[in-house]
Structure 1
Amino acid sequence: MSKLQYGFDACFVPGGAHLFDGETDHLIPSTSHFLLESDFFVVAGRMIGHSFLHGGPCLSGLSPAILHVLFDGSPEEATIDIKDCADLDIRETIKLLEGTTDLSPEEKHTINELALSWDLPPVISGNRRWLFDKLLLHAVLGRTSRQVKHLRRGLKETQIWPLLTERKDIIPLLFPRASQIQCTSQMVLDKIKWPTQDEDEDKEVSLEDACRITGFLRTFIENAWFANERRTQDALIFEKSPVPSDSKETSSPSLLEKFVQFWVGWNVLPTHLDVEVVESSFPRSSTCFYLLKLPGHYKEYSVFERDLLAAIWSVDTGFGMV
């Protein structure tokens, strides 16, 4: 599901493959002909349905217009936002039709080229708003209609479709808005079941070490929420693509979400989070049990933070092991 949300590496697709393109909460299916003809969207529908049935993570951030059509809504009745147009070149061309200012010959030529390629008439003074709506409709829903049909087919193969058609209130749970699943440092801290020192149990580390390490963990979680600028520096250290600090929206998870993903396998919080302080060289996690295992040998927070960041950025290479 993480690969479905954020894309996956594929040697047969230059630059990797993203099944869904665009901004957060405005994602639409990719218009890649290869992905469509290879039934990737049918597989995606199956993945989404099975993950939901087994209590797993859901796919977030889809455009409301895509969801409207996915569940048999009429394309003409869909509410489409200009942000739903994932292709920025096409979006800028369509935006030229906004307003009432006179279009230059170059702007008219750009608009007409796009309109004629989609079998629409050229722009004139009387059809400007109509052409804006038609171009946007085709850019968002017309070019993705087959992908949406394949996605629907995949969902139906998981036997979840009758539930979704009878209970429309389930749809936001299956396809939540990204803003609804964002986690804060306090939300993470509230989920943690902190380790205790039981006299009847033999612990690998002392109570003093356990208290120090859990204090480091609390500090890390609190700092992670405000770490957008620091994340750019950390990304460079660990040879990741930097994320601009002034970027309001991004297709990759934040540092706190990455940390949760290292802990439980996905960047959506479960009902509880467990912590153990153990004898170990580096931080580890048992994602199936929502268990974070932290070494008890750290004496300085800076060293603890360095190793935990290294563990977090290893999540893409396999189960968060360093």
Structure 2
Amino acid sequence: MPKAMCKKCKILYPLQILTNHIKTCSDVVVVEDGDESQDETLHEAQHVESEKKSNEQACCPICQEEMPLDILEVHASECGERSMDDENNNTTELSCMDNEVSDTAEFLYVDNDWKTHPDPKVAMALYRREILRLHETGKPLLMCMDLRTCAEEQERQLINFYKQRNVEWACPVKCQLEGDAAVGDGVTRHFFSTVLEKLKYGFSLNLGNTGVTCLFEGQPDHLVPSSSQFLIESDLFLVAGRMLGHSFLHGGPCLAGLSRAFVHVLLQGSQDTATLQLEDCPDVDIRETINLLSGQSPLNEDQSSKVLELCLSWDLPGPTVENRRWLYERLLSHAVLGRRVRQIKQLKRGLKDTFVWPLLTERKDVVFFPKESEDSCTPEMLLSHTSWPRESDDEDDEYSADIKERITGYLKHFIETASSKDLKNLMKFWVGWEQMEANMAVEIVKSDLPKSSTCFCVLRLPGHYNSFQSFTKDLMMCIGTCKYGFGHV
């Protein structure tokens, strides 16, 4: 702690207790220079002061606990420090601060391994695990949705949940479906799957006089936030940032297909260094107008009028032969990024609220917003994560090995021939969301229709099927109900 010398006794004290010391300090006689007894006098004065401190009591300025003066200095230098040991007894203080988002800084004590681990996926897992560990004793968050109400009301409940203020989003989560008896991890996965689906494909709520409210618009791998002022003023992109960060913390799905230029700027990249593509502009009319400047052929009167009108609306000069290429780049940059500055700020605030922002700024190699191709579910991936039924000598086994082999053969053939959308629906029906789990298993049971235990990642298939067509028909019917909850066919 910073120290200063008492002008009376010439002894160093921490600044926090120097004021109290001066009130009780007595004058010490200082001998003139050259006196042989100067050192001895000072030593005696210090000894007297030490005895006085051992007998006197004072309060710690930090914790207000009363104790002898002789141990107060040592105590005050350590009082209030916060320590948190991990498995390797190696901790570091990480600033969770974004100057563009908030003027206040939040500090976390997190494991430093995520910063240095060479594998980005492992680094993400380490960071997620440590953040959850730090908040595991916090008050659980209750996510509740009533399946007996209409889709609009269910979505309104989700949005209201993420609009709450002063919430520790890394605390444990408890999810409850009103009107459904399902409980456990499968219900939690269902919530996060529903949240990310609404983010990507839109809400049924009629916000801003639209049939479907889409927070992100455009074509796959070129999605950008909507430019709707109503959505911005409603802080729905703050809600979107919290949804994305909350899903990440609990290992849920992510938002795939965003424009690479938009992701670059969102993660603190410069707008001047973003690589823009014409497809990043979601408005087809504006895109066609900007594209008129991409060639070298002269513009006719109608084309010049369209370009000039767009330029004037965005405070840019009209087109000329000299500024044609420059104007093309400026118009495209404003159409994709310039109109979405407030959306970017809200998304950053939401990611910061969920403690995800330090990971994104420290590890530029992590893929938080993957491309569509990187987020696709392939047959090879699904088959490699599946544990198939084994032969058993148990006499109580419901089906023979031949029947098990036939049914599992149907499932393998279905996985190999199904579309990416059907495979994701199968994943949701199987485990609760479209993320691969390590312990996915298949069982052959006596039942009328396919069922699943999402908490334990077990897919239970009936053994009565004798044709692939009947098996596929029932399976498609079942996996198509995953968005409506559990047990509804």
Same fold by TM-score greater than 0.5: yes
Q: Which moved more, 1:292-301 or 1:277-286?
A: 277-286
- How far is the alpha carbon of 1:204 from its aligned partner? 4.0
Distance 1:183 1:294 in 2: 21
Residue 48 (structure 1) aligns with = 244
442, 453, 458: which one aligns with 1:291: 458
More helix by share: 1
Q: 1:159 to 1:206 in 2, by over 3 A?
A: same
470, 474, 479: which one aligns with 1:303: 470
The 8 Å contact of residues 223 and 282 in structure 2, kept in 1 or not, is answered as yes
Residue 407 (structure 2) aligns with = 213
Q: Which whole-Å deviations, capped at 9, do the CAs of 1:28-54 have from their partners, x for residues lacking one?
A: 111122222221111111121122122
Residue 479 (structure 2) aligns with = 312
Determine helix, strand or coil for the equivalent of 2:455.
Answer: helix
The 8 Å contact of residues 268 and 361 in structure 2, kept in 1 or not, is answered as no
- How far is the alpha carbon of 1:209 from its aligned partner? 2.8
Q: Which whole-Å deviations, capped at 9, do the CAs of 1:98-142 have from their partners, x for residues lacking one?
A: 110111111111111211111112212221111111110111001
47, 56, 78: which one aligns with 2:274: 78
Residue 146 (structure 1) aligns with = 342
366, 370, 375: which one aligns with 1:181: 375
- Provide the aligned length of Structure 1 versus Structure 2: 293
Q: Which whole-Å deviations, capped at 9, do the CAs of 1:63-90 have from their partners, x for residues lacking one?
A: 1111111122221221111111111111
Distance 2:477 2:205 in 1: 25
Distance 1:272 1:5 in 2: 28
Determine helix, strand or coil for the equivalent of 1:55.
Answer: coil
Distance 1:11 1:151 in 2: 22
Normalising by structure 1, we get a TM-score of: 0.84
Q: Report which structure shows greater RCO (CA 8 Å, sep ≥6).
A: 1
Residue 357 (structure 2) aligns with = 161
Determine helix, strand or coil for the equivalent of 1:144.
Answer: helix
Whether 1:125 aligns to 2:292 is no
Distance 1:271 1:26 in 2: 31
Which 4+ stretches in 1 moved above 4 angstroms? none
5+ residue gaps in structure 1? 226-252
More strand by share: 2
Distance 2:474 2:407 in 1: 13
Q: Which moved more, 1:160-169 or 1:129-138?
A: 160-169
Structure 2 counterparts to residues 194-205 of structure 1, below 5 A: 194-200=388-394, 202-205=396-399
The 8 Å contact of residues 206 and 213 in structure 2, kept in 1 or not, is answered as no
The 8 Å contact of residues 284 and 321 in structure 1, kept in 2 or not, is answered as no
5+ residue gaps in structure 2? 1-195
* Larger Rg, first or second structure (1 or 2): 2
The 8 Å contact of residues 252 and 435 in structure 2, kept in 1 or not, is answered as no
Residue 180 (structure 2) aligns with = none
C-alpha RMSD of the superposition: 2.0
Distance 2:313 2:486 in 1: 47
- How far is the alpha carbon of 1:320 from its aligned partner? 7.3
The 8 Å contact of residues 242 and 354 in structure 2, kept in 1 or not, is answered as yes
Whether 1:112 aligns to 2:308 is yes
- How far is the alpha carbon of 1:218 from its aligned partner? 0.8
Distance 1:96 1:116 in 2: 16
Matched-pair identity in %: 52
The 8 Å contact of residues 311 and 320 in structure 1, kept in 2 or not, is answered as no
